[in-house]
Each structure stands twice: as C-alpha cells, then as structure tokens.
Amino acid sequence: MSKKDNNKDRVVEGVDKEGNPVKTLLRQPTAQNYRDSQVQYNETFRKALDSGALLRQKLTDYMTEQGIWDKDKQGKNDKFIEDISAREEALKGGGIRLSKAKEIALELRELRAEFRELLSEKNAMDANSAEGQADNARFSELIRLCILDPATKTPRFPDQNAYDKNADEPWVAEAAAELAGMIYGLDPDYDKNLEENKFLKEFKFVDEELRFLNDEGHFVDSDGRLINENGRFIAYRTEKGKKNKDQDDLYFVNREGEEVVSVVGDDGEEEWVKLSLKERKPFLSEEDEPVESPVKAEKSPEKESETEPETISSGKPDAAKKRKTTKTTN
C-alpha cells in the first residue's frame, strides 16, 4: 500500500517476512540517480561480455541454433498475436450475443495465459544476455538509491550487497514494483483494463478482483462450478443453505462433485480424499489378523493405566426420583 507524500515522494507500507510492518519512503529518481545507475550498467555490461555473455543481437541466432526459439515457436508467437487481436476487436465492436461475447472473453483469457507462457521461454534467455544483466544491475541500483528511511530520508541500503541481502523481503519487492510503475509508467490496473476483463466486469460475470461470479453471487470457476475464496470446490446440502450462503450447510467436493474431507497422513501431510475413503480398513496378516501401521505404532503414546469406564445414562428417569402426583378436587 502506498500514498503520495508530494509529486516525487511516495510512502510505501509493507511487511517483512515475519509480518512486521515496515514503512519506507520511495523517491522519484533524480538525474544524479540515473547517472549513478548507468555506471552500474556499464560495469555489469563489461563484466558480462568478459565472462562470455551474448549480446541480444546474437542471442536470437543462438536460441535458433539450440532449438530454444525456432521457426515453429515464432509461428506460434505470431498466431497468438493475431488471435488475441481478432478477439479484442470482436469485444470492442459488440453486436453479438452476450453468451458468445462471454465465450470470446474466456478464450482471450486462455490465449493470453498461453502466450505469456511461450514468451517466458524467450524472456528467460534475454535475462542472461549482456544487456539483460546490465539492465537488472541498473534497476537494482535505482531501487537502492530511491528506497529511503522516512525519518532520515537517506537510502536504507548503503551498498548493493546490503540491498541484495534484503531483496527477497516482501516490503522491498513491493517498493520495487512501485518504483517500476513510477519510472516506466506501468499501469497497476493493467489486467483489469484488458478488453476481456472490462467486458466481464461490465456485465457482472466477475467482481472487482476479477473473480468469477454466478447469478446468485457465488464464486465459481470458469466452468461455473462453485468454489470458495481460496478456489476450493464446494457445494451446499440444501437449496436454502446455498441461497443464504450458510457456512454450516457447506461442504467440500472434488471436480466430479463428490464430497471430500481433509485427512492427515502418517507423514503429517494433509490431503483431500473422498468421504467414502476417509476410514481405511486395516491390512491383514497371513492369519487374517489386523496389522497396525509401524509408523502409527511409533507415534501412538503408551497406554496408561486403565480408567473406570464412563457411565452412560439411559435417559430414563430414576424410579426413586419419580414424584407422586395427587389429584385434587374443587
């Protein structure tokens, strides 16, 4: 979470790995900051070349030679761009049935996910190029220079080593994302502003967080199956419970709609199994006697001295305690 302090500063509130709150001041890079970061770029670029890193210009040829990015993948890349563009135009133009438009929007979501997965192969190699390594070094230096202590307004990290040791802290990652938005003008609502998501939100197929909803306001997956906020499949035992979203009426199911329960295995790991399989029958010895699991035997505490069995009430009143009733006459 962030809030602007002035046109150039932004207060970012995050947490560390232990969940403790951390407040930091994020400052728009100055001309001197950019010059200092360029020094890091140049040094890293030179070291990368000396260590044998390829230039981006030659990286494409290398990826083709190694079969990492061949003509087939380039063809898929071009087809994705064509298909995504065509579906975006269909949603922008309208004039089709709402059900068809929803189908197109869902196809767009799937296409973008597949396209991103394809591009990730290419982008992963780019990070290893001389320019890719230098770009990362420059941005890391900008982050270090622009993440300030709110009290002293000086950099929190005195050098890159100090920054690198803390780079995986949640509050540092959040500050870096904020800075990227400030520098490169990234839209924090990029996903929400995609054509398919604008359509799905407008016609209330999804909520503000882009989670699917049905006509009754329940969370569902893209196929319309009920899920909870964590994405686990659910069902209700009665229509009334479903209508009221009664948590006591709710139970978990698998993809096939069969009721499942959470059980902890002998290894301590939780797993979801069909209700009918919750209680496993014991395995038998050659003499057809039940065999106890060695793991369970090791974990079970030693039996203590026997205790008196609890008396179970029959629920019938004690005859001695029955009260006599007398009939009175007026």
Query: 245-268: per-residue pLDDT in tens?
Result: 999 999 999 988 888 888 877 777
pLDDT surpasses 90 at 301:
no
Calculate ∠ Cα 226-227-229, nearest 5°.
145
Of 128-137, 220-229, 234-243, 316-325, least confident by mean pLDDT is 316-325
Q: What strands lie across the sheet with 2-4, from one edge to the other?
A: 2-4, 9-15, 21-27, 147-148
pLDDT surpasses 90 at 134:
yes
pLDDT at 86 (0 to 100): 97
Looking only at the bridges linking them, the beta strands covering 260-264 and 250-252 are unpaired
Q: How confident is the model at residue 10 (pLDDT cuts 50, 70, 90)?
A: confident
d(CA 284, CA 297): 16
Query: 11-55: per-residue pLDDT in tens?
Result: 989 999 999 999 999 999 999 999 999 999 999 999 999 999 999
As a whole-number percent, the residues of the chain with pLDDT over 70 amount to 85
pLDDT surpasses 60 at 304:
no
Element (H, E) at 11: strand 9-15
d(CA 271, CA 80): 38
Phi, then psi, of 239 in degrees rounded to 5: -65, -35
Instruction: List the structure tokens of 257.
Output: 């709609």
| 192 contacts 210 by C-beta, under 8 angstroms | yes
d(CA 240, CA 226): 15
Strands (E) across 28-127 are located at: none
* β-bridge partners, 264: 270
d(CA 83, CA 104): 11
Q: How confident is the model at residue 283 (pLDDT cuts 50, 70, 90)?
A: confident
pTM, 2 dp: 0.65
pLDDT at 142 (0 to 100): 94
